Structure 1
Amino acid sequence: MTRSALFVFAAVLSLCPAVALAVNPAVWTLDETIDRNDGSVFWTSPSAVDLGFDRYVYDYEITKISASTFLSTIDVTDLVGESFDLIGGGETSELPVVLIDAPLDDPTTGTSADVLIEVDENGFGQGAFTNVMLGSVNFGITLNIESIRVEATVSLSGFNFQPGDYDQNGVVDPDDYGVWNATYGSTSDLRADGAEDGVVNAADYTVWRDAFNSPNDAAATPEPAGLAVGLLGVLAAAIRDRR
Structure 2
Amino acid sequence: MATFLLVGQFGNITIGQTLPSGIINAPPTTIGNNQSIGSNTTLNVRNSGAVGINFRAGLDSGSSTNVVVNIEGGSLGGGFWANRGSRVNLRGGTTSSVYVSDGAVFNVSGGQTGHVNLLVGAVLNLTGGQISALSAQQSPFAPYHPQINIYGGGIGDTDLQAGMRFFGGEFRLNGVEIGGGTIAIDGLSLLSGTLQDGRVFAISGYDVEIPLVETVIPAINPTPTVVDQGTVHLEQLRTGESVVLRDGGMIDGYVTAIGSSLLVEGGEFRGNCLLIDSELVVQQGSVDFAWASHGSVITLAGGRVRRATSDEGGVINVAGGSLPQGVYAYSEGIVNISGGVVGHSNLLKDSVLNLSGGYVSGLAAWDTSVVNISGGSVGDGFEAYPGSIINLFGDSFAINGVPVQSLSLGEPFQVTQRDVTLSGILADGTPVSFELNSSGSSQDHFFSASAVVTITRVEVTRLPGDFNSDGQVNLADYTVWRDSLGQTGAGLAADGNGDSVVDARDYAEWKENFGRSSASSASFEASKVPEPRSMAIACLLVAMVGISSRVRTIRSADNNRA
TM-score normalized with structure 2 length: 0.15
Question: Which structure shows the bigger proportion of residues in strand conformation?
Answer: 2
Larger radius of gyration: 2
Question: Per chain length, whose mean CA-contact separation is higher, i.e. which structure has more relative contact order (CA < 8 Å, sep 6+)?
Answer: 1
Question: Which structure shows the bigger proportion of residues in helix conformation?
Answer: 1
